Chains A and B, each alone.
Chain A
Amino acid sequence: MTTSLLTRGPCSAARAAVTSNQGLQRLLFYLAALKFTDKHEWVRVDDNGTGTVGISNFAQEALGDVVYCGLPEVGTQLAQQDEFGALESVKAASELYSPLTGEVVEVNTLLADNPGLVNKSCYKDGWLMKMTIANPAEVDALMDEAAYEKYIRSIED
C-alpha cells in the first residue's frame, strides 16, 4: 500500500498518509525487534551485535517525569539483573536492572541535559545504554512484544 501511494506522485494528503504510515511502520519495526524483561526494560539487538537497552512505555508512564538519569561508566561489566543505574522521577528514585550479561559500551549522554527523553521517546531517543551480549541465549529467553503485553495486562489486574 505504501509503494502505490508513493507512485501516485506528490499531494500533501498522500504524502502525509505515507509519512504517518512510514512512521507507524518504523515504530512497528522497532517494537517487533524488541525483547522485554519483567522489570520493564527492553533490549534491541543492533546490526553489530550489541544490545541497546531502555525502559518500556509502561515503565516510563509509571515513573512519571524523569528528572535525572544515573547511568554506568563505559566498560562496566554487568551480570544479568545487576543494578546498572537509577532513574529519579517526581515519583521516586528507581533502580535499573541489567537485562543481560555483558559490558557497557556506550551510554546515552543526551540524557544528562534532557532526562525527559526517557518519557518522550522511550523506544528511540530515550535509550539508556548499549552493551555487549555475552550470552545470546539470555536474549532468546526474554519476552517478545506480544508476551510482554500479556504480562502487563496480568500485573495490572
Chain B
Amino acid sequence: MLLQLRRLRPLRTGVQQARPTSSCLFPDPSTTGSGSGLVLQSQSTDVFQNLALEDWIDAHVDLQRRAVLLLWRNRPAVVVGRHQNPWTECNLPAMRRAGVPLARRRSGGGTVYHDLGNLNLTFFASRKAYDRQRNLRVVTDALRRVRPELDVRATDRFDILLNGHYKISGTASRLSRKSSYHHCTLLHSADRAALSSLLRPSCPGIQSNATPSVPSPVANLTDHAPSLLWEELLEALAQQYNSEFGFEAAPRPVDPSDEALFPGVGSMEAALRSWEWTFGKTPKFRLDTRLELRDEQLGARCGAGLHVEVKNGLVESCRVDVPHHWLPPRLSGALGEVLLGERFCPHRAAAALTALLRCESGQPHRRLQNLGEVLLAGMG
C-alpha cells in the first residue's frame, strides 16, 4: 500500500528513489500472518550507532506481537554497564592511546571488550516473553549443531562456558515499560591480548557502590573450533532463532544511521556519545590515594595524599595533602579549589593546572607542575 501511494506522486526532476521506511521494516504483525519475528543484521561497526539502534527498537517497535533478533559487532570499544565506574573497570589512558572509545550501555551487568571478533546478539521481546535461558539455548543449540564436539553450556549467571570454565559469552538486559531486551556477547575470534590489557583498572584507590564486573577467564570459539567461519556462525544462530521461536525470518541487513528507517536514531546516538552519559552517569565515588612527588632538579622526593569526591563525573571535593616543606599550602589548596566543579578528566584538570602555573616560577612552579602531572595520571 505504501508503494502504491508513492507512484501517485508527480514526477520531479532528478532521480527520486523510493526509500524504505520503518513501516516497511516493521509491518503490522496482524497483516503478516504467522511468524512475527525479525532477524536484523547491522551493517555498522560503530558501537554508538549500534547501541542507538537497540534503544530505537526498544522504544519504537511494538514487541507485544513480535520479536526481534539483532546481530551486530563493533570496531574495538570498551562497553561498561549502566551503573558501572569506568575508572575502576578499564584502563582509560591505554584506551585513549589506542583510540578505543568508551561506551556506556543502558542495560546492567559488567564491562566487556568489543572488537570485530566479538558477536553481539540482542533478543527483543515483550516483558512477558522475557526469557534469558531460552535465548541462550538458541546460542548453545546453534553451536552444537555446527560443531557437535563443542562443550558449551549456559550457567545460572547467564554466562556461556566452553569446556566448563572458559567464558565465551556474557549477558545483560534491560526492562522497559512494556518491552525487554536481552543482549549477549559471543567470542568468536576477539583479540584476547587487547581484551585483558584494556579491561584492567588504571585508577587505584577508588571506593564506590557501582556495580562491579566479575572477571572470568575467556576463550574464543576459534581457539577450539578453528574452522568455524563468522558467516557460518551467524547463519546457524539465525536459523536456530527461527527454529526455537517458530519464525521464518531471513536476516535483513540494516544501517543503524538511516533516519528514514529509524527516525530519531541520530539523536539517540548523540546522547550515547556524550560525556554526560558515558562518564557523567558514574555513581558517586571517592578516590583516596598516595601520590609520589619528585623534584628532578634537586633529586628530591615526597609523598602526598589525594582525596577526591566525584558526583555525576564532576569533582565535588578535592583535597591534596602535601607536606608544607615541599609546597606552600596556598598552592596545594589552590589546586584543590581550581578543580572543583570540573570534570574528573585529565584534559580539564590540565587546563585548570596551566592557569595556576602561569602565576608561579622557580621551585614552586617546578613542584606544582610535578604535582599536577602525578594528579592527572591518577585521574585515568
Chain B residue nearest in CB terms to A114: B209
Would you list which residues of chain A between 75 and 125 have a CB under 8 Å from chain B? 86, 88-89, 91-95, 97, 112-113
A39 within 8 A of B: yes
**Per a CB cutoff under 8 Å, which of A68, A86, A92, A113 touches B173?**
A92
What is the CB-to-nearest-CB distance from B247 to chain A, in angstroms, rounded to a whole number? 23
B210 close to A (CB within 8 Å) = yes
Which of A39, A91, A93 is B83 in contact with, Cβ under 8 Å?
A: A93
- State whether A39 and B177 are in contact (beta carbons under 8 Å apart), knowing that A68-B283, A86-B83 are contacts in the complex: yes
Size class of B's contact patch? 20 to 34
A-B contact count (CB 8 A): 53
Residues of A within 8 A of B172 (CB): 92-93
- Give bound CA distance, A94 to B172, whole Å: 12
Q: How far is the CB of A124 from chain B (nearest CB, A)?
A: 22
A92 touching B108 in the complex, CB below 8 Å, given contacts A68-B209, A68-B210, A86-B82: yes
- B175 interface hit (Cβ, 8 Å): yes
Task: Give chain B interface residues in 278-306, CB to chain A under 8 Å.
Answer: 283-284
**Which A20-71 residues have a C-beta within 8 angstroms of B?**
39, 67-68, 70
| Contact pick for B175, options A68, A70, A91, A112, CB 8 Å | A91
Interface presence of B211 (CB below 8 A): yes
Contact: A88 with B177, CB < 8 Å? no
By beta carbon, the residue of chain B nearest A73 is B312
Collect the chain A residues with CB atoms within 8 Å of residue B175's CB. Answer: 91-95
| Chain A interface helix/strand/loop/mixed | strand
Contact B173 A88 (CB under 8 A): no
Q: A88-B108, A92-B107, A93-B108 are in contact. Are A68 and B211 (CB under 8 A)?
A: yes
Residues A88 and B209 in contact in the complex (CB < 8 Å), given A70-B283, A94-B174: no
Contact B176 A88 (CB under 8 A): no
Chain B residue contacts of A39, Cβ below 8 A: 177
B106 beta carbon closer than 8 Å to chain A:
yes
B91 beta carbon closer than 8 Å to chain A: no
A113 to B177 Cα, complex, angstroms: 27
Segment 48-95 of B: residues with Cβ below 8 Å from A: 81-83
State how many angstroms separate the Cβ of B40 from the closest Cβ of chain A. 21
B180 in the interface (beta carbon within 8 A): yes
Chain B: minimal CB distance from A69 (Å): 9
Q: How far is the CA of A113 from the CA of B207 in the complex (A)?
A: 12
Cα–Cα, bound, A31→B80 (Å): 39
Q: Shortest beta-carbon distance, B101 to chain A, in Å?
A: 21
Question: CB distance B177 to A67 under 8 Å?
Answer: no
What is the minimal beta-carbon distance from B175 to any residue of chain A, in angstroms?
Answer: 4
Task: Give the docked Cα–Cα distance between A70 and B211 (Å).
Answer: 11
Closest to B180 in A: A92
In the complex, the chain A residue whose C-beta lies closest to that of B182 is A92
In the complex, A68→B82 CA distance in Å?
10
Asked if B177 contacts A93 (CB within 8 A), the reply is: no
Please give, as numbers and ranges, the residues of chain A lying within 8 Å of B177 by CB-CB distance. 39, 95, 97
What 8 A-B pairs are tightest by C-beta distance, nearest first? A93-B108, A92-B173, A88-B108, A94-B175, A68-B83, A92-B175, A93-B82, A68-B211
Question: A: which residues have CB within 8 A of B?
Answer: 39, 67-68, 70, 86, 88-89, 91-95, 97, 112-113
Sample of 8 A–B contacts (CB below 8 Å): A67-B108, A70-B283, A92-B172, A93-B82, A93-B174, A95-B175, A112-B209, A113-B209
If A92-B172, A112-B284 are given as contacts, then 18 extra A-B residue pairs at C-beta distance below 8 Å, sorted by A number, are A39-B177, A68-B108, A68-B283, A86-B82, A86-B83, A91-B175, A92-B182, A93-B81, A93-B107, A93-B108, A93-B172, A93-B174, A93-B175, A94-B176, A95-B174, A95-B175, A112-B209, A113-B209
